[in-house]
Structures are given as C-alpha cells and as structure tokens.
Structure 1
Amino acid sequence: MINENKAPIYLSIFKRKGDEGLKTKIINDSNKERYNIVWNTLLKEEKPLIIYFENNENWFLLTSTRIIINDNSLIDYIGLNDIIEVSLALEEELKSNILNKTQFSKLKIKQKNKNYIICNLESGLPFEGIYQILHFIKNKNISIS
C-alpha cells in the first residue's frame, strides 16, 4: 500500500497544477461534515484528500491509499498502487461532443489487472490537478515495478 506520507505531495501537486472548483474540494476540518455520506466507504487507515462531489450518487474521492468512485450508486475502488496508466478518455469526450481540452472531465485509469475505469471529474483546473496527481502516481508505480 502507498504510504500515507505521500498525501502532502499529492496535495502539493493538486495546488500547483490545478485547483479547487465549485464541486472539487480539498478535504479539511471546515468542509468534512458536508461530505459525511462518503466516509462509510473509507478504511480505518485511509485519509480523505480531495473530493469531486456532484451528488450523493455521483462522486470521486482521492484518499491516501485509494480512489473511490461512485457512478450512479455503483461504487468502484482503485488502489493507488494498482494504477499503471492514466489517460484522457477521448472517446467518451468526443461522444459528448467535447472538443475543447479545457472542458474535458473524463479520465481513463488502467489497473494492474488490465481493467479500465472511466471517472468523471469537474472540468478545468480541478480536472488538470487530479490528472497530474494520478500521472505522478502512475509514474511512481511503473518505476518500482
């Protein structure tokens, strides 16, 4: 499992390469209660870091050890140490007639088991920040393989 000490690095990348948005927030004591519906999905040793919260059935949570994705009430979990590829979900963006990269909101994540998961995020700076964190994680995973 990836060490929780990487959490400050992930948050630093997010702040430098992206930013919070209307629906994407860094979890802190002042906003933690707002997202209490997602806390029952956390493991004891997990620390919530960044959340994209559309509604109770659609959200993305980056923690110190995993990504938890709730897509229309179907929950997927991706261990951070299982990420081997991160890319723009161009096919899905094109299906939605999104052509401008500043409007991209979908990432495609490939895991060690070869499964892909598409995650929906807030477009703009929040998307860019999360993409950069996941790219960093992927590079670390590949270098230790």
Structure 2
Amino acid sequence: MLRLIGFIIILLSLSGCSSVFDKHVEYEVQQPDSYPILRAIGYAPIAPQPGGSAQQKSIMAMKASKIEAYRELAEQVYGQQLQGNTSLANAIASDDVLQAKVQGVIRGARVTRSYVVGDSYATELELDMKLVYDLYVTQTKPRKIKKVTYY
C-alpha cells in the first residue's frame, strides 16, 4: 500500500500543473517607437576597371560603387569584425596584421543617386528601417504575450 501511495505521488509530481490547468495565450506584435533611415555612399575608380571601352569601364565602376555602398550599409547594420595579430621577435614587432570583415544581408535598400565624381563613380543608397521591420515581420511574425487565460 505504501508503494502505491508513493507511486501516485511521483506520478502527480511528474505531471505538474499542466494536466490540471489548460490555457489560451493571446499574442500581440510589438513595434519600435521610431525607424531611422540609414544612408551610405560607395565609390569606385573608373580607369582601372576591366573593359575594352570607356563605357564598359564606366558600367563596371557603377556596379563596383553599388557593391561598396552595400558594404557600407552592412557595416552600419551589423558592424565590422576586426581581427588583429602582432608578432614579436627579440621584443621588436616583426609583423602587424589587422583584418576587417563585414557579413550580413541587406534587404529593402534603394539607390537614391548614381553619379561621376572626377575619375570615380559614386552610388548613394538609402535603407528605411521601417521597410526592413515590415519585411522582418512578414517573415518571422515576432510576438509578445498579450493575455493568458487559464481554464
């Protein structure tokens, strides 16, 4: 009899309150108070670009400046990963290396201006964080608990 009571107590403690109470949870989406607009400019030289004609070099510089502007936006959104290494030989610095890395996904950016500056091409990008938030919400559906009802 004592074993049976002990077994029943163990079963009740393992089941916890989840079998006693059933619940309904209501969620609400949380929005930030403000949405900044990030801007970035990318530059690329025209003359050293690959291509047989001036027009081809200009197009390649246009593409390169756009990629540089996206890199600049990624730095603003995700930051830069820096890695440094210094070697010493007889208490004298023999090798000093610093590497930077940017990695991320930029969605919703738009080109606001593209223009020539001397022998370089410049591209200006704009990233409205309201649009980024809307894209994020449609994909992930972030939620906050609004109300819990137990019955």
TM-score when scaled to structure 2?
0.23
Structure with greater proportional strand content:
2
Structure with greater proportional helix content:
1
Higher gyration radius (CA): 2
TM-score when scaled to structure 1?
0.24
